[in-house]
Amino acid sequence: MYQPLGVQRLIYRTRIASYVKAGLIDYAVKVFEEMTLSECRVFGIDYNRFIGVLIRHSRLDLAHHYYSKMAPLGFSLSSFTYSRFISGLCQTKEFMFIEKLLNDMDRLHCVPDIWAFNIYLNLLFRENREESALEVFGRMVERGREP
C-alpha cells in the first residue's frame, strides 16, 4: 500500500519541480493543491519547499495561504524559510503577519537569521515604529542575535 503512495508523491514532486524550473508557478500551485487534496501523504518538507518557492517568486499571498493550511497539520517551516518569509513580508509591510511568524518561531524555539531581523528593524524605523523596533531589538539580543 505504501509503495504506490510513495510513487505518487514522487510524481507530484517531480511535476511541481518541473513547473517551478520552467517559471510556471500557477501550474505548480495547481499540482500542489491537487497533491494536498489527494490520497497522497504530504509531509512538512513539501510545504516548506513549496512555500519557499512562493516566497522566492513574490507570491506572498499564496505563501500565507499554505502556511495557514500547514500549521493545523502540525508542520512548521525551517528557520531559513521563516527568515525569507519575514524578509519578503517586509516589502509589503505586513506587520501583523510578521509578528505572527515571529511568535510561531518563538514557540518552536527557533530564531530568524540576522538578515531577516535587520530587514525588519530597518522597516520598523522607516515606518516610525521606534517602540516596536526597540522591542524587536531586545528580542534579538535575548536570543543571541546581535544586530
What is the distance between the alpha carbons of residues 103 and 112, in angstroms, rounded to a whole number? Answer: 11
pLDDT, residue 5, reads 56
pLDDT, residue 4, reads 58
At 79-135, the pLDDT tens digits run 999 999 999 999 999 999 999 999 999 999 888 998 999 999 999 999 999 999 999
Per DSSP, the three-state class of 23 is: coil
Across the range 22-51, mean pLDDT stands at: 94
pLDDT, residue 71, reads 87
Q: For the chain, state the CA radius of gyration.
A: 17
- 84 within 8 A of 56, measured Cβ to Cβ: yes
At 45-71, the pLDDT tens digits run 999 999 999 999 999 999 999 999 998
Lookup: cell for 84: 525569507
What is the distance between the alpha carbons of residues 38 and 75, in angstroms, rounded to a whole number? Answer: 18
